[in-house]
Amino acid sequence: MFRDQVIRLGLVLSVIFATALAIVLSVSMTYTLMKLRGVPFTDNSLLISIFAPLFSAPIMLTPLFKAFMKIDSLEHEMRKLAMLDELTGIMNRRAFFSNAEQVIGMANQNNVEMSLAYIDLDNFKSINDTYGHAVGDQVIMEFSRIIRGIIRKSDLVGRVGGEEFALLVHGAGAKDAHQLLERLLAEIRLQQIETPAGKLNFTASAGLVHISSYEQKQIHILLADADKALNHAKRTGKDRVVAFEANLGVSMPA
């Protein structure tokens, strides 16, 4: 599409190329029309056919091309916002699932290890009931800030539920992913939220699934296994990481 070409080239180059094209068309059309009418094509005719579009084309095209680029910027921003969780600024459930499936597929093709974690904030309903939803939102935002500070650019994190998060650790085996999650939980323990009732500490639990390079599993199946491990972590004391053992069909402490 013409608009796509303008965006690809940028404003300045687009105006230059479009003006040059307008000059070529102007000269060609003027020459052809004068020949058909039997009028000689003089130097003055050439200069007029060149300078008319040279001055008029940039004036008319610049606002149009700016509008193209503004529309593209707005569309890009809308697509970005549609993929982000409004409260935390990280990926929402749909975006995480879509991106995770692509990354897992590429990792399988290239024999890259990956691990998937399902993370849940402990006692979150109690926090909302005791301190109010505004404080609950603060806890979620603080958790999001912490996890974004720990993960790498190659990792994916998304908010997949109210207080539930999914983390896809790229190029990490079970041991490395476990260490990362332990560091995450340790960072969370150190944080305090200021509330009208005083300082609030919070914790989180995590279920972990190691995705071997030979496994061709879909994200929702992997997340279901991680959820089973997470439930085991909740039942056995919370504030801990539990890894899912697929061959045993049960979740075991990591």
Q: Is the pLDDT reported for residue 208 higher than 90?
A: yes
Q: Both 148 and 222 in a single domain?
A: yes
87 falls within a domain: no
- The residues, any chain, with a CB within 8 Å of residue 104's CB and separated by 6 or more, are 114, 168, 211, 217, 219, 222
Q: Both 221 and 146 in a single domain?
A: yes
49 falls within a domain: yes
Q: Which of 56, 81, 106 is the last residue of a domain?
A: 81
Q: Both 203 and 128 in a single domain?
A: yes
Q: Both 51 and 99 in a single domain?
A: no
221 falls within a domain: yes
Q: Both 76 and 98 in a single domain?
A: no
116 falls within a domain: yes
158 falls within a domain: yes
Q: Both 12 and 119 in a single domain?
A: no
Active-site residue identified among 163, 164, 187, 245 = 163
Q: Both 26 and 121 in a single domain?
A: no
41 falls within a domain: yes
Tokens for 74? 């707005």
Q: Both 236 and 161 in a single domain?
A: yes
Percent of residues, the chain, with pLDDT higher than 90: 42
Q: pLDDT digits over 180-199, tens only? A: 999 999 999 999 898 888 89
Tell me, rounded to whole angstroms, the distance of Cα 169 from its chain centroid: 15
Q: Both 129 and 174 in a single domain?
A: yes
Q: What is the mean pLDDT of residues 194-219?
A: 84
Range of the domain at 18: 2-81
pTM: 0.69
Q: pLDDT digits over 126-147, tens only? A: 999 999 999 999 999 999 999 9
Q: Both 44 and 120 in a single domain?
A: no
Q: At what angle do helices 133-150 and 124-131 cross, to 10 degrees?
A: 140
Q: Both 74 and 146 in a single domain?
A: no
Q: Which of 51, 81, 111 is the last residue of a domain?
A: 81
Q: At what angle do helices 43-83 and 93-109 cross, to 10 degrees?
A: 100
88 falls within a domain: no
Please say if 163 is a catalytic residue: yes
Q: Which residue has the higher pLDDT, 114 or 206?
A: 206
Q: Is the pLDDT reported for residue 166 higher than 60?
A: yes
86 falls within a domain: no
Largest CA distance in the chain: 97
* CATH number for 149: 3.30.70.270
Q: How many domains does the chain have?
A: 2
Q: Both 177 and 60 in a single domain?
A: no
Q: Which of 59, 81, 103 is the last residue of a domain?
A: 81
